[in-house]
Structure 1
Amino acid sequence: MTGDIIDELAWRGLVSQMTDEEALRARLAEGPITVYAGFDPTAPSLHHGHLVQLVLLRHLQRAGHRVLPLVGGATGLIGDPRPTTERSLNTRDVVEQWTERLARQISSFLDFEGDNPATMVNNLEWTAGLSAIDFLRDIGKHYRLGTMLAKDIVARRLASDEGISFTEFSYQILQGMDFLELSRRYGCELQTGGSDQWGNLLSGVELVRKADQKRVFALTTPLITKSDGTKFGKTSGGAVWLDPSMMSPYAFYQFWINSGDEDVIGWLKTFTFRTREEIAELATAVAERPFAREAQRTLAHDVTALVHGEEATSQAILASQALFGRGDLSELDRPTLEAAVSELPQARVEPGTSVMDALVASGIVKGRNEARRALGEGGVYLNNVKVADPDAILTDSDFLQGHAAMLRRGKKSLAAAIAEA
């Protein structure tokens, strides 16, 4: 394997910084390398930031390198320092549960069988039995306070009113110890992470050099933002969760399909495995046929299928089409229907309620006169079927999956009548 993988990752927007680029390229040219990325259980699900690292590991595994996804059963008990305030420590039971959940999520992104299997590791294995004396003697002696205090996030916290606890201050040592342990156990030579983890990655590189006199490397990915510089997320500062119980496959698909023209090509490079030729064609489509949104549909399909599988993706696509009259709403399963409905204006009504009153209650029209006029003009649809009768009522069969009747005025004004329990 040559160092060309670096060029490929850079083209995909997956490279921000790396230690000793020339030496890393030379090492890659010699043959496969062992690489790890860490995932701390500070929440019950991975999110879009972790997805970047998983895609990166998948690229590396496909290129023949050995990958070690690490779930931080130990570091998750401490928590990486935040830029402003101290973390609230979670209980051991919670961290253990979240560690197991994250491990299950990670297992679907990488190949743990085959000729080049990934290996899942948990840093609690080598920290749980470590005594304080051994930690200080064997690990702590290699760290210098001046270097630790100079880390950007530590410096910012020290300058704040709250300061930083010894617990969070020590996090960089624990992460450095992970690299040392994986170097010794698996011959690991490369750690990846987000660019905000640069200081922690350097901690491991330096520890391995000082403790074992070995050269290892670090590579970071850029933090993903929108083209206007705002945060990448469902809302400002919000996460795009990978767990379907925290963000439904339908909502997940909608996030990606609503990507702006100025963002979609970059995100296709970063989050999908489309070739350069395919992405070039999609870039042309954005420039020449932006109304068709081919690139957005490709992005939404590929990322949703990667995270949730083809069946859930098909349901999300069907729901997206059916809501606007281009598919059969009756084919939607209950979870997808509920997810789609949750994004719309709603009104709780009983069977026997008139369509006119349901339109008013949902807010899709301002009053009965407007509802009557819309019905008379043929612009009202119930479950994608035109309704012209001003006296039409909602029957039990109109509530899809016994849950919701979909109301539409014109092409784009949508609402849902939810069956009263």
Structure 2
Amino acid sequence: MARTQALEADAALTAGITAAGDTILGALDTAQASVQRRFQFVPAMAMRVSPQGLARLQSLPNVVSIEPDAPAPVPEPVVTAPEAGSALPDSPSVFAELIGASVPWGAGYTGSGWYVAILDTGIRPTHTFFSGKTIVEACFSAQANCPNSQTTMYGAGAAAHYPSSYSGWDHGTHVSGIAAGRDMTTYCGVAKQASILAINVFSKINDGTLWVGTYSSDQIAGLEYIYSLRNTYSIGAVNMSLGGGAYNAYCDSAAIKASIDNLAAVNIAVAIASGNNYYTRYISGPACVSTAVSVGASSSSDVEGSFSNYHPALLDLFAPGVAVTSSTADSDFSFEAWNGTSMATPHVAGAWTLLRQRYPTRSVPQILGAVQAAGQAVTLKAGDLAGGSVRRIALNTLFATQVNPVAAVNSLLLN
């Protein structure tokens, strides 16, 4: 769709959603409800309601569903004994190499001219791992913790991370480095020359302890912002190393699905971490949305991480997530090795960006099918033996037609 047509379609969609929202608000007493956030591209809004307001909303025929909007903490890096088959890498490049990134790099696909969108706790943009990159920043915080003390902020400094006294404060800096980090020496993330859309979707929570939490409404706002930029930047994929809960079936009733679907409709995948709860038959939300790309963690020897949430039907891919070294926000030069599905997911987002650079018109299902067909088998942990067909992403097979070409890859991508 041409840019002008896209803008016209967006305006029409927003007008329809606004009118529908106004109708609902018109049926409520102002004492019963207050609007926290309205959306442009999905028919939903975030509201604070009284018990009477909730009852009134439940009675309205044009209200399809109501869900709580409560903060979920960062999936903190897992501290464990060394995992089976894991080895502490001496640079972040080790894991980019493990998924075969050197093959697309050698063919000229490094992510140059493309962006990876990171919805997380913000970023330390001055870190050397982001040297020379364009970083587009935004913030959506239900608790009005953006640097401007508002619930929304755009522009330089908007995605600043919170103080180190808050648990999870520099999670986004680590995740961003895995997806698109690049130093001037030997370190690099997967899409090493891609730029970054850094979007802070967390708020400060003080309930006796200090931590950062993300509201679904802020996640939707972040996804909508990315969707609004689709004709401004070439966006390879979205990374969401966040979530919570336990699901053994698709959670497609969640309001966030509409935002994920909007991005999928314009060929932008949303990769989401499956969670670090050691589950053997469940994954977290919103990874449980059927149109998301759900990601579990594996080691450098392709053994499933003990902490990684797994479901044989709901999990889409594995990626390295054990002892993964990347940038931290302690200083402009600091690196640490962390464990987590949060570390696995940006491997997929970065890899997806390289695939989009090579195949810019391919759909999310086409690329996912090819990646799954070309993937490397992963040894599952005890309790995860059912199914066992979920594979680790392997870029070398997808980009090197001389290396064991897979028929499904050829039919999905190369034709």
Q: TM-score range by the shorter chain?
A: under 0.3
Q: TM-score, structure 1 length as denominator?
A: 0.23
Q: TM-score, structure 2 length as denominator?
A: 0.23
Structure with more of its chain in helix, by fraction? 1
Structure with the greater alpha carbon radius of gyration: 1
Structure with more of its chain in strand, by fraction? 2
